Structure 1
Amino acid sequence: MSNLEEDTAGLGETLARRCAGGTIIALDGGLGAGKTVFTKGFARGLGIQQEITSPSYAIIQEYEGSPGLVHMDWYRMGGEDELLQIGVEEYFTEDSIVLIEWASRAPELLPDRSITITLEIQKESTQRQLTLSIPVTAPERILSWAGEPLGEVRDADA
């Protein structure tokens, strides 16, 4: 559970310190659930100093770092064909970490190694529940972090 925006950003920052280039994170949740807040914290964890904004209209924003960060938003996209036309798969390389807001718009495009984080606003509350689905093929440093008491953590292959 996350009680404040800073908690959500803090989880992103902590996870970022465990990720390497080639990591793909699918972020899902309703409007205002905290996807961009999580991404801001994640960028902070990578040492990225640039301001992070939602790429709702730009679709793809790139931030320099080591590794770099590619922040996508698939909300306004019409599905798999439209995403393939703009070349989103070209970003799934070892050079960058990719965070995708509204990834559920085209889940068939996500590589099997993708980590999924679902953010849900709890009814009549300001709390968010973050649920991680991590494939068993994830690097040990991510799996060991996910084993820490963060709330509900489950294997994506289960």
Structure 2
Amino acid sequence: MRILVVCLGNICRSPLGHGCLEHLVGEAGLDWEIDSAGTGNWHIGNMPDKRAIAIAKKNNIDISHQRARQIQKEDFERFDHILVMDRQNYEDVLKLTENDEQRAKVRLFLGGDACVQDPYWDDSLFESVFNQIYDQSQNLITGLRVLSGSKKAKYKH
């Protein structure tokens, strides 16, 4: 399983999603690849925002090794799931897709129409954003494990 988490600049929300998923996947003993990217190119090569690093560290997750990058067309072939943080990210990522198979990989991180608010301009949002992302990361792992188990079961027959 390969999952890409995407936000605008790849310094706040997607690094938190990357870190939470990577942490929980590791705890579960799963051999999944997790990465993150941004739709914009402003922060390429930069560490995550210091506030994102701090809230992750407070919760025993280290995201300081991550470096921002911009989503690339190749990511649609490399990743099974591309999870975006808000509607604008969703629209921007869909513009990069070339076919229905690629479009089917893209969905909102929280599912449905729910969006993760961007905490960049409001320090007070980082804790609630982290909690929202962490909780959804647990749900995603559970759901994707069931889905991948279902696929394996189908192929066994």
Both proteins in one fold, TM over 0.5: no
Q: Could you state the TM-score of these two structures normalised by the residue count of structure 1? A: 0.37
Higher strand share: 1
Higher helix share: 2
Q: Could you state the TM-score of these two structures normalised by the residue count of structure 2? A: 0.37
